[in-house]
Amino acid sequence: MSLLDRATLDAALIAAHEAGDPAMLAALYRKAADTLERLGQVDAALFFFTQAYVFALDAGLAEADDVGRILRANGRL
């Protein structure tokens, strides 16, 4: 993840937290997790998958099941 991408992601996460938007938070954390996983940064990716999972559950999103499978497959759930 480049510095610019990281700065953009951080700003979007802060805005979504301030807005109290769990669906947007789930999407942003998932995007970060997917990116980090592609870069081979598994531990960092799993942290972001965990956040995506929590916010997906909070928002009642079906995506929580998919993220939960990823976390279970990696011994994190």
Give the per-residue pLDDT at 38: 93
Domain that holds residue 20: 3-73
Number of alpha helices (DSSP H) and beta strands (DSSP E) in the chain: 4, 0
Q: How many domains does the chain have?
A: 1
pLDDT above 90 as % of the chain: 86
**Model confidence, pTM:** 0.90
The structure tokens 């499978």 sit at 69
Q: Residue 26: pLDDT above 70?
A: yes
Mean pLDDT of all residues in 4-21: 90
User: Is the distance from CB of 47 to CB of 19 less than 8 angstroms?
Assistant: no
